[in-house]
Amino acid sequence: MHNVIAFYDDRVLAHEPNIDADFLPDRIDKRIRQLLSGLSLPWKYPEHPGRLVAIQQLLETNPIEGLCIEGGKVATHEQLARVHTTSYLSDIFSLRGKNAWLDVDTTAVSPGSVEAAEVAAGTAIAAVESVIEKRAKSSFALIRPPGHHAEPVRARGFCLFNNVAVAAAHARSALGMERVLIVDWDAHHGNGTQDIFWADPDVMFFDIHRAAPFYPGSGHLEEVGAGLGEGTTINVPLPAGAGDEAYLKAFREILAPATDWFKPDIILVSAGFDPHWHDLALNVSYEGFGALTGFLQRLAEQYCEGRLVFVLEGGYNLESLARGTRAVLSVLAGNSVPEPDTCGIAEVEAAAKFHLNAFQAQ
């Protein structure tokens, strides 16, 4: 058994919307051109292949002992249809080989996007299978386009298929996992994942994120699910600037007792790295990502025989995306769990020590 397997497939690089190209449908294209023309700076599609290239380059130049890399696979129609409607899937598949806008919130596809999205969802499934088959203690699906904004009938927020939801549904339908816990720590609320499992008592969705009106504007404290699933949706909205202490406090005081009540068979993580301060949304450090990973490892060991799977979501600053991903993989590979410090405290202590003698009585 490997400590951790990272799953990666070059086919996910084929998703490359180019806003200089002509997009269909024409009406949405004109509307988006109007929106972009009102910006003070030129806009480029933020979710681009360079995100995964940056991760790969960092792992090559700074390898992690014990990390194994494996390829991905394509999700089947049946696997995708567990969380998306057949009419939505038909619409997406009809765009294979085309440039198209899917939504006015700037979700777009290029000629290679549909296959990239199929591979992203299938690779998330492969990561889950590796853990349940006990080939790995934990796994990380390094994929794009991301997925947690994708709803059953709608693409949103750069997301086409909801990768973590597809993987969770597969774990339950095909792999014998009765209860799935999904933890989403991306800076943006996972509205699509919440929507898919809103009334499902066998999937607990815990989402910590920057509060509305930050995109997508959902994830309010009172959103707790409905019907038999009431109480299995848990939202923790945070103000801008919240960081390691807030995240870890939420994990200790909300996620831990919720997990003890729910007792999952597997834990999936929608891991976005835009909570890092380089992405200007929140204030989580690399040590913070490592500490959160260690916390989830302990929960997985306690409740579900260590089964823990990460699925890449957002993160658009290439440095913090790559270094945050590496921080998670390092802990999963068996390296020590870091203890994050409050930002600046160590530097102030060092400065105080440096200056102290100047103020002492002679």
Catalytic residues: 149
CB 172 within 8 A of CB 204: no
Which of 316, 274, 267 shows the shortest CA–CA distance to 295? 267
* CB neighbours of residue 272 within 10 Å: 26
Rg value, the chain, Cα: 21
Residue 348 is encoded by which pair of tokens?
């102030």
CB 167 within 8 A of CB 128: yes
Q: What does the buried/exposed string (b/e) look like for 221-249 if buried means 16 or more CB atoms within 10 Å of the residue's CB?
A: eebebeeebeebbbbbbbeeebbbebbbe
* CB neighbours of residue 336 within 10 Å: 9
| Torsion (CA) 68, 74, 79, 84 in degrees, nearest 10 | 110
